[in-house]
Amino acid sequence: MKAGSAGLYLDESAVNPLVKWTKRDHFGEVAFLEGAAHSIYPTSVKAETPLDLIVVDRADFTNLAQSLGALQRDLELSLFARTAYARFTTMWLEIRNSEPSPLPMS
């Protein structure tokens, strides 16, 4: 992202973004790295302000990642972190949903 800001939302009705990106941040690479195994959680990226973006198609992205070792390592680390976060979120939701509701006090 060259300029502006964008947010990651769980759904269209969400008021606050889970993540906010600004100048020099990037997003969307996970879709290229994971391919069809991409996240099962539907999300939306919305522009918060006007954006100036650099858009890279899959073929160019793959060529860049393969030719730039440091970029490839950073992308792999980013994918690992996002995968770990997704697993943590799933476990937290499972625990939260399995806990019995507190009984009302009389």
| 40 domain residue, yes or no | yes
Residue 19 has pLDDT above 80, yes or no: yes
Residue 21 has pLDDT above 80, yes or no: yes
| 46 domain residue, yes or no | yes
Q: What is the pTM of this model?
A: 0.55
Q: How far does the chain reach from its first CA to its final CA, in angstroms?
A: 55
Percentage of residues in the chain with pLDDT exceeding 70? 84
Domain count, the chain: 1
The whole-angstrom separation of Cα 20 and Cα 94 is 26
Pairing state between β 19-21 and 6-9: antiparallel
| 67 domain residue, yes or no | yes
| 106 domain residue, yes or no | no
Q: What is the pLDDT of residues 30-81, one digit of tens each?
A: 777 766 555 566 778 899 999 999 898 888 888 877 777 777 777 788 888 8
| 105 domain residue, yes or no | no
| 17 domain residue, yes or no | yes
| 1 domain residue, yes or no | no
